[in-house]
Amino acid sequence: MKNILITAANSDIAQALIDKLCNGKNSRDIHIFATYRKNLPSSCENFTPLFLDICDDESFLSIKNEIQNIKFDAVVNFAGIAITSPVTKIKSDDFMQQLNVSVVGLSRLLAFVYPYLNKNSRVINISSMSAFGIFPFISPYCAAKAAGDILLNAFEIETGIRTVSIRPGVVKTKFWQYCIDINQENFERFNGEYKEVGEFLLENAKINASRGVSSEDVARIIFKAIFKNRPKHLYLVGTDAYFASFSRFIPKNVLNFAIRKILDYRVRKFTDGKK
């Protein structure tokens, strides 16, 4: 029996992965432990729901009794938020919230699950193409995703447990609307020189909710990473993620100039379209 722990299992991609695990040819040999904070609709024959808030140390202690005799073959972390703001207007509380979920929360998870892993286990973290650090106005999210990948890699070096980072590009999920909702006050602070940029980013986020790769596309890659004997450390999902990865080979001044020009063009086109 393979035991798989999935955090934030109510997300669209997590639900697609659970569906794939529950309906695959070896589904009877898989037991899913799925953590949630609210609204966990999926279930199958071997399925254990667990309430867990990745930002709360006490929450981890509350599930110890339910997993005390378990060894997990794979842990997949979906917990995440995305804070948007110009660097000059970031509120420290918002930045700390981003780090608490994506970095400190991941650290809590790694420390907690380590005693429940074996030498052939793998820990999979859902990162983002934003970890390449080339997207302005979502710097808290970019920084947190990059830091999460660094933390993950250090965990592998220290423990010998295989780790995998999944870096999707734009994915069609309800995560976009969730981020719009939690960033309402931040979008209001896009004023003065950033007013038109803020309006463009808000509209672009709404559009992204219905374009890009599907949750099933990402789930298929995660499924491969769970069961492959030696999965890669990094998987890119989506054409835009591959383009973002090329940024590593471009001189910074050239890259930054290009990003500014592309953003200026897109904002100007959006603004002109409103007139």
Maximum C-alpha span of the chain: 63
Task: Count CB-CB contacts under 10 A for residue 143.
Answer: 19
Asked if pLDDT for residue 41 goes beyond 80, the answer is no
Q: Average of pLDDT values for 104-110?
A: 97
User: Which DSSP string corresponds to 173-213?
Assistant: STHHHHHHHHTHHHHHT--GGGHHHHHHHHHHHHHHTTSSB
* Residue 160 backbone zone (phi > 0: left; psi -120 to 50: alpha; other: beta): left
Domain parsing of the chain, residue ranges: 2-274
The predicted pLDDT at position 42 comes to 60
Q: Higher confidence at residue 38 or residue 40?
A: 38
Which CATH number applies to 2-274: 3.40.50.720, 1.10.150.530, 3.40.50.2300, 3.90.79.10? Answer: 3.40.50.720
The predicted pLDDT at position 45 comes to 79
Asked if pLDDT for residue 7 goes beyond 70, the answer is yes
Q: What is the pLDDT of residues 22-34, one digit of tens each?
A: 987 778 899 999 9
Task: Assign 37 a pLDDT band (cuts: 50, 70, 90).
Answer: confident
Neighbour-count burial of 120, counting CB atoms closer than 10 A to its CB (0-12 exposed, 13-18 middle, 19+ buried): exposed
Percentage of the chain exceeding pLDDT 90:
87
Percentage of the chain exceeding pLDDT 70:
98
Say if pTM beats, i.e. exceeds, 0.85: yes
Q: Average of pLDDT values for 10-16?
A: 94
The predicted pLDDT at position 103 comes to 97
